[in-house]
Structure 1
Amino acid sequence: MTNPENDSYRNQLLRRLDPGDLGLLQPHLELCDLEPKTTLEKADSEIETVYFLEDGIASVVATASGKEAEVGLVGFEGMTGAALVMGADYAAHQCYVQSAGSAFRMGTEPFKEALANSPTLRLFLLRYVHYFHIQTSYTALINAKSNLEERLARWLLMCDDRVHGERLAITHEFLAVMLGARRPGVTVGLQVLEGRGFIYSRRGEVHIRDRSGLAACANGTYGKPEADYVRLVGL
């Protein structure tokens, strides 16, 4: 449930904070634009800034031996800097902007100070961190066991949850990185989904035409983490 004092925010965490906890963060929150490919966190580096996304999408990307794949998505439902909530001060993976948007940002030190001064703030944000771990664990399972069309359908649904309208600005090259797949396979996967009438794809963007069809195509890979978010954080 949101509080009237929080209604000026679109970010679902800020909207649901206890007014006292929001008061600890609010003096340090600064609205900023997020341009595509902007780095929000560097792998194995100290976290300098926390971002509460208002719109747009950030991707958490793991890298090993020159290979990379997306392991998590963050939109207006969440935040970066989750490691700080758990007492760490560095990021395990890279996080960068996938789709342009905006966010409220604040420095690490005032954020850690707020956590230290309010046990209720940490407890609430830990619920989001738990959801994010559920999301990433499902991504690992699905990337290992599901076919490309199912993975692609799930990913498009997750992005659609986090953007305004039905248009996703995305290239085949970027999709290949996000799914840990080869670009030709992604192209074929998009053609299959388009042939079934679920999407319309053209250079640099994808339009969602049939969410229910995409959900059926995802074959059970979409929905469980989303339901856990509602249970842990709220609608």
Structure 2
Amino acid sequence: MGITPNQSANSLLAALPPAEWLRIAPLLEEVDLPLGMVLHESGGKLSHVYFPIDAIVSLLYVLKDGGSAEIAVVGNEGVVGIALFMGGETTPRRAVVQSAGKGYRLRASDIKEEFNNSGAVLHLLLRYTLALMTQMAQTAVCNRHHSLDQQLCRWLLLSLDRLTGNELAMTQELIANMLGVRREGVTEAALKLQRLGLIKYARGRITVLDRVGLEERTCECYAVVKDEYDRLLPHQLTR
């Protein structure tokens, strides 16, 4: 594997007690997570869990006709592949990298062994799963009841919380696929936010110019999700 894992690179790993970290660290493999990489496909058997370092992974529900919509995002606050330690070998969700970076991966057998044998790991992963479920539920509510520009603000804020800078490499087409809407709708919403001076969009890159303005513009869904992560995982998102 050739590298010494950095425990602080992922907040979930950073929350592990010393004894558990010493057991898990030698089993972690650092991997590149390029844009568009599919970590697991809907219905496919999961072989690893992934702990993003500076990448962001979208969890998508894919319909039979090929349509999809994002139900959650995972960054350096969490782990991709919760089905493995929740008793399932497969999941109906697709996990795809939406912002390139690196991550650590851990074999399925290793994460299941830690989950089953260590109370500290079990409780930490269960709290994270509860926070992730809140994000999924709130995303469904947001997509049903709030305007597209509010949804875009929520999505941008959740992504920013998982990045170190204020810029996202993201095309409008990809955002439309994530939100499950038409590209024209994303274009209109992005232009609206740009006219308000909140973002700058050019050549597939979105730069957030006014984070406070985004927080004021978005619906309550962003705060609900962030507060739940902070409550259940106090060392997680800090913005």
Alignment TM class, shorter chain as reference: over 0.9
Report the Cα distance in structure 1 between the residues aligned to 2:7 and 2:124, rounded to whole angstroms. 20
Structure 2 residue matching 1:191: 3-state secondary structure:
helix
* CA offsets 1:183-223 (integer angstroms, 9 cap, x no match): 01100100000000000111211000011111111132211
1:174-193 → structure 2 map (5 Å cutoff): 174-193=174-193
Deviation at 1:79, TM superposition (A): 0.5
1:59-208 → structure 2 map (5 Å cutoff): 59-66=58-65, 67-208=67-208
Structure 2 residue matching 1:164: 3-state secondary structure:
coil
Structure 2 residue matching 1:223: 3-state secondary structure:
helix
Deviation at 1:116, TM superposition (A): 2.1
Report the Cα distance in structure 1 between the residues aligned to 2:223 and 2:103, rounded to whole angstroms. 25
Match of 2:212 in 1: 212
8 A contact 2:85–2:111 mirrored in 1: no
Report the Cα distance in structure 1 between the residues aligned to 2:19 and 2:91, rounded to whole angstroms. 28
Structure 2 residue matching 1:40: 3-state secondary structure:
strand
Report the Cα distance in structure 2 between the residues aligned to 1:83 and 1:211, rounded to whole angstroms. 34
Deviation at 1:8, TM superposition (A): 4.1
Tell me the matched-pair count. 230
Deviation at 1:119, TM superposition (A): 2.3
TM-score normalised per structure 1: 0.94
Share of identical aligned residues, percent?
35
Structure 2 residue matching 1:194: 3-state secondary structure:
helix
Match of 1:57 in 2: 56
TM-score normalised per structure 2: 0.93
Deviation at 1:85, TM superposition (A): 2.4
Report the Cα distance in structure 1 between the residues aligned to 2:165 and 2:25, rounded to whole angstroms. 29
8 A contact 1:150–1:221 mirrored in 2: no
Q: Looking at secondary structure, tell me which structure has more strand per residue.
A: 1
Report the Cα distance in structure 2 between the residues aligned to 1:16 and 1:119, rounded to whole angstroms. 13
* CA offsets 1:75-116 (integer angstroms, 9 cap, x no match): 000001111221222122000111101101111111112222
Gaps of at least 5 residues in structure 1 are: 1-5
Report the Cα distance in structure 2 between the residues aligned to 1:7 and 1:184, rounded to whole angstroms. 42
- Per mean C-alpha deviation after superposition, the further-off stretch among 189-198 and 90-99 is 90-99
8 A contact 2:16–2:120 mirrored in 1: no
Report the Cα distance in structure 1 between the residues aligned to 2:26 and 2:182, rounded to whole angstroms. 45
Match of 1:19 in 2: 18
Report the Cα distance in structure 1 between the residues aligned to 2:132 and 2:7, rounded to whole angstroms. 24
- The one-letter code matched in structure 2 to 1:33 is D
8 A contact 2:43–2:93 mirrored in 1: yes
Segments of 4+ moved more than 4 angstroms: none
Deviation at 1:142, TM superposition (A): 0.2
8 A contact 1:9–1:54 mirrored in 2: no
Structure 2 residue matching 1:213: 3-state secondary structure:
helix
8 A contact 1:34–1:101 mirrored in 2: yes
Report the Cα distance in structure 2 between the residues aligned to 1:74 and 1:26, rounded to whole angstroms. 21
Gaps of at least 5 residues in structure 2 are: none
Report the Cα distance in structure 1 between the residues aligned to 2:135 and 2:116, rounded to whole angstroms. 27
Match of 1:3 in 2: none
Q: What RMSD, in angstroms, separates the aligned Cα atoms of the two structures?
A: 1.3
